Amino acid sequence: MSRKKRRKASSPENWPLWRVGGLAVLVFGGMSLGLAFVPDYSPAATAAAVVMGPGTVIAAIWGARTKSWWSQIAYMALWMLFFLGFGIRMWAAVIPASWLWAPLVVGGYLLAWALPAVQPRLSAILLREQLAPQTRFGQGCMRWSLALLLGAGASGYWVYEVSRRAGHFDLAWLAGGGLSIAVAIGWSQAVSHQLWPRRPWAKKVVAETMVEG
Protein backbone atom coordinates (compact mmCIF):
# COMPACT_ATOMS: atom_id res chain seq x y z
CA MET A 1 0.00 0.00 0.00
CA SER A 2 1.38 3.40 -0.98
CA ARG A 3 1.91 6.18 1.55
CA LYS A 4 -0.91 8.23 -0.01
CA LYS A 5 -3.40 5.35 0.27
CA ARG A 6 -2.26 4.65 3.81
CA ARG A 7 -2.91 8.25 4.84
CA LYS A 8 -6.33 8.18 3.21
CA ALA A 9 -7.25 4.95 5.04
CA SER A 10 -6.10 6.38 8.40
CA SER A 11 -8.13 9.59 7.98
CA PRO A 12 -11.14 9.75 10.35
CA GLU A 13 -13.36 10.43 7.34
CA ASN A 14 -12.58 6.94 6.04
CA TRP A 15 -12.88 5.04 9.32
CA PRO A 16 -15.28 2.06 9.41
CA LEU A 17 -18.50 2.62 11.32
CA TRP A 18 -17.50 0.32 14.18
CA ARG A 19 -14.41 2.44 14.88
CA VAL A 20 -16.36 5.70 14.72
CA GLY A 21 -19.06 4.27 17.00
CA GLY A 22 -16.56 2.82 19.48
CA LEU A 23 -14.65 6.07 19.81
CA ALA A 24 -17.89 8.05 20.12
CA VAL A 25 -19.10 5.75 22.91
CA LEU A 26 -15.85 6.22 24.84
CA VAL A 27 -15.70 10.00 24.39
CA PHE A 28 -19.36 10.87 24.92
CA GLY A 29 -19.87 8.18 27.53
CA GLY A 30 -17.15 9.87 29.57
CA MET A 31 -18.66 13.30 28.93
CA SER A 32 -22.08 11.98 30.01
CA LEU A 33 -20.62 10.74 33.30
CA GLY A 34 -18.93 14.11 33.82
CA LEU A 35 -22.18 15.97 33.17
CA ALA A 36 -24.03 13.76 35.65
CA PHE A 37 -21.50 13.85 38.50
CA VAL A 38 -19.52 17.14 38.18
CA PRO A 39 -19.49 19.11 40.42
CA ASP A 40 -21.92 16.78 42.22
CA TYR A 41 -24.59 14.25 41.32
CA SER A 42 -27.72 15.70 39.76
CA PRO A 43 -30.80 13.66 38.68
CA ALA A 44 -31.73 16.32 36.11
CA ALA A 45 -28.22 16.38 34.62
CA THR A 46 -28.20 12.57 34.60
CA ALA A 47 -31.46 12.53 32.65
CA ALA A 48 -30.01 15.02 30.17
CA ALA A 49 -26.83 12.94 29.83
CA VAL A 50 -28.88 9.77 29.18
CA VAL A 51 -30.49 11.53 26.22
CA MET A 52 -27.50 13.51 24.93
CA GLY A 53 -24.91 10.72 25.16
CA PRO A 54 -26.61 8.18 22.88
CA GLY A 55 -27.90 11.02 20.70
CA THR A 56 -24.37 12.26 20.03
CA VAL A 57 -23.14 8.72 19.31
CA ILE A 58 -25.98 8.21 16.82
CA ALA A 59 -25.22 11.59 15.21
CA ALA A 60 -21.53 10.66 14.88
CA ILE A 61 -22.35 7.34 13.19
CA TRP A 62 -24.98 9.03 11.03
CA GLY A 63 -22.45 11.63 9.93
CA ALA A 64 -19.79 9.00 9.19
CA ARG A 65 -22.27 7.03 7.08
CA THR A 66 -24.01 9.82 5.15
CA LYS A 67 -21.80 12.94 5.62
CA SER A 68 -25.03 14.91 5.37
CA TRP A 69 -25.48 18.53 6.41
CA TRP A 70 -28.10 17.61 9.00
CA SER A 71 -25.85 15.00 10.63
CA GLN A 72 -23.04 17.55 10.98
CA ILE A 73 -25.40 20.07 12.56
CA ALA A 74 -26.80 17.47 14.98
CA TYR A 75 -23.36 16.16 15.96
CA MET A 76 -21.78 19.55 16.60
CA ALA A 77 -24.85 20.98 18.34
CA LEU A 78 -25.00 18.05 20.78
CA TRP A 79 -21.24 18.10 21.35
CA MET A 80 -21.27 21.81 22.16
CA LEU A 81 -24.34 21.27 24.32
CA PHE A 82 -22.19 19.10 26.59
CA PHE A 83 -19.77 22.02 27.11
CA LEU A 84 -22.70 24.33 27.77
CA GLY A 85 -24.04 21.86 30.32
CA PHE A 86 -20.65 21.65 32.05
CA GLY A 87 -20.48 25.43 32.25
CA ILE A 88 -23.98 25.87 33.64
CA ARG A 89 -23.46 23.07 36.19
CA MET A 90 -20.18 24.59 37.43
CA TRP A 91 -21.59 28.10 37.66
CA ALA A 92 -24.76 26.87 39.37
CA ALA A 93 -22.56 25.42 42.14
CA VAL A 94 -21.35 28.91 43.13
CA ILE A 95 -23.68 31.50 41.54
CA PRO A 96 -27.17 31.70 43.08
CA ALA A 97 -30.43 32.24 41.18
CA SER A 98 -29.50 30.07 38.21
CA TRP A 99 -33.09 30.47 36.99
CA LEU A 100 -32.19 34.09 36.27
CA TRP A 101 -28.87 33.79 34.41
CA ALA A 102 -29.04 30.27 32.91
CA PRO A 103 -31.69 31.26 30.31
CA LEU A 104 -29.37 34.06 29.16
CA VAL A 105 -26.52 31.56 28.69
CA VAL A 106 -28.78 29.17 26.77
CA GLY A 107 -30.06 32.11 24.71
CA GLY A 108 -26.47 33.02 23.81
CA TYR A 109 -25.86 29.44 22.67
CA LEU A 110 -29.00 29.44 20.49
CA LEU A 111 -28.12 32.86 19.07
CA ALA A 112 -24.65 31.59 18.14
CA TRP A 113 -26.24 28.92 15.97
CA ALA A 114 -28.79 31.31 14.46
CA LEU A 115 -26.45 34.26 13.87
CA PRO A 116 -25.31 33.30 10.32
CA ALA A 117 -28.96 33.28 9.25
CA VAL A 118 -30.12 36.46 10.99
CA GLN A 119 -26.92 38.57 10.86
CA PRO A 120 -24.50 37.03 8.33
CA ARG A 121 -22.22 40.08 8.23
CA LEU A 122 -21.78 40.17 12.02
CA SER A 123 -21.28 36.40 12.03
CA ALA A 124 -18.50 36.72 9.43
CA ILE A 125 -16.79 39.42 11.52
CA LEU A 126 -16.95 37.29 14.66
CA LEU A 127 -15.54 34.27 12.85
CA ARG A 128 -12.72 36.34 11.40
CA GLU A 129 -11.90 37.77 14.82
CA GLN A 130 -11.75 34.25 16.25
CA LEU A 131 -9.46 32.82 13.55
CA ALA A 132 -7.48 35.77 12.18
CA PRO A 133 -8.26 38.89 14.27
CA GLN A 134 -7.74 42.25 12.62
CA THR A 135 -8.96 44.62 15.33
CA ARG A 136 -7.00 45.46 18.46
CA PHE A 137 -9.65 43.87 20.62
CA GLY A 138 -9.58 40.65 18.59
CA GLN A 139 -5.79 40.52 18.58
CA GLY A 140 -5.73 41.10 22.33
CA CYS A 141 -8.21 38.25 22.85
CA MET A 142 -6.12 36.00 20.61
CA ARG A 143 -2.92 36.75 22.53
CA TRP A 144 -4.72 36.20 25.82
CA SER A 145 -6.12 32.87 24.58
CA LEU A 146 -2.73 31.69 23.39
CA ALA A 147 -1.12 32.67 26.68
CA LEU A 148 -3.89 30.87 28.56
CA LEU A 149 -3.45 27.79 26.36
CA LEU A 150 0.32 27.71 26.83
CA GLY A 151 -0.02 28.20 30.56
CA ALA A 152 -3.03 25.92 30.98
CA GLY A 153 -1.19 23.43 33.16
CA ALA A 154 0.36 26.02 35.46
CA SER A 155 -2.79 28.14 35.66
CA GLY A 156 -4.96 25.08 36.30
CA TYR A 157 -2.68 24.00 39.14
CA TRP A 158 -2.69 27.55 40.53
CA VAL A 159 -6.50 27.68 40.52
CA TYR A 160 -6.60 24.27 42.18
CA GLU A 161 -4.16 25.29 44.91
CA VAL A 162 -5.92 28.58 45.63
CA SER A 163 -9.27 26.82 45.82
CA ARG A 164 -7.90 24.04 48.02
CA ARG A 165 -6.29 26.44 50.47
CA ALA A 166 -9.43 28.52 50.62
CA GLY A 167 -11.31 25.40 51.64
CA HIS A 168 -13.68 25.35 48.65
CA PHE A 169 -13.59 25.17 44.87
CA ASP A 170 -15.63 28.26 44.04
CA LEU A 171 -12.82 29.81 41.99
CA ALA A 172 -12.25 26.59 40.06
CA TRP A 173 -15.94 26.23 39.26
CA LEU A 174 -16.17 29.86 38.12
CA ALA A 175 -13.13 29.56 35.83
CA GLY A 176 -14.04 26.14 34.49
CA GLY A 177 -17.63 27.13 33.90
CA GLY A 178 -16.69 30.32 32.09
CA LEU A 179 -14.26 28.46 29.84
CA SER A 180 -16.82 25.75 29.02
CA ILE A 181 -19.50 28.31 28.15
CA ALA A 182 -17.05 30.30 26.02
CA VAL A 183 -16.09 27.14 24.09
CA ALA A 184 -19.73 26.15 23.59
CA ILE A 185 -20.82 29.54 22.27
CA GLY A 186 -17.65 30.39 20.32
CA TRP A 187 -17.34 27.06 18.54
CA SER A 188 -21.08 26.92 17.83
CA GLN A 189 -20.94 30.27 16.06
CA ALA A 190 -17.84 29.29 14.07
CA VAL A 191 -19.27 25.93 13.00
CA SER A 192 -22.68 27.39 12.19
CA HIS A 193 -21.16 30.12 10.02
CA GLN A 194 -19.18 27.57 8.00
CA LEU A 195 -22.07 25.11 7.63
CA TRP A 196 -24.87 27.58 6.91
CA PRO A 197 -23.89 28.29 3.27
CA ARG A 198 -23.96 24.52 2.62
CA ARG A 199 -27.55 24.04 3.78
CA PRO A 200 -29.48 21.80 1.33
CA TRP A 201 -32.28 24.25 0.54
CA ALA A 202 -29.79 26.96 -0.44
CA LYS A 203 -28.62 24.83 -3.36
CA LYS A 204 -32.23 24.26 -4.35
CA VAL A 205 -32.96 28.01 -4.38
CA VAL A 206 -29.83 28.70 -6.46
CA ALA A 207 -30.79 25.97 -8.93
CA GLU A 208 -34.34 27.33 -9.28
CA THR A 209 -33.00 30.86 -9.79
CA MET A 210 -30.68 29.66 -12.57
CA VAL A 211 -33.55 27.83 -14.30
CA GLU A 212 -35.82 30.88 -14.12
CA GLY A 213 -32.99 33.07 -15.42
Chain segment 61-94, per-residue pLDDT in tens: 999 989 899 999 999 999 999 999 999 999 998 8
At which of 43, 67, 91 does a domain end?
Answer: 67
Same domain? 205 vs 137: yes
Asked if 83 contacts 185 with a C-beta cutoff of 8 angstroms, the reply is no
At which of 16, 41, 67 does a domain end?
Answer: 67
- Taking 3-state DSSP, the helix, strand and coil percentages for the chain, each rounded to the nearest 5, stand at 85, 0, 15
Same domain? 197 vs 102: yes
At which of 46, 67, 88 does a domain end?
Answer: 67
Q: What pLDDT is stored for residue 211 in this prediction? A: 45
Same domain? 92 vs 53: no
Q: Tell me: pLDDT of 28 over 90.
A: yes
Closest to 194 (Cα-Cα) out of 134, 132, 135, 120 = 120
How many structural domains are present in the chain?
2
Domain that holds residue 39: 1-67
Same domain? 112 vs 198: yes
Q: Model-level pTM greater than 0.85?
A: no
Chain segment 173-202, per-residue pLDDT in tens: 888 898 899 999 999 999 999 999 998 887
Same domain? 86 vs 14: no
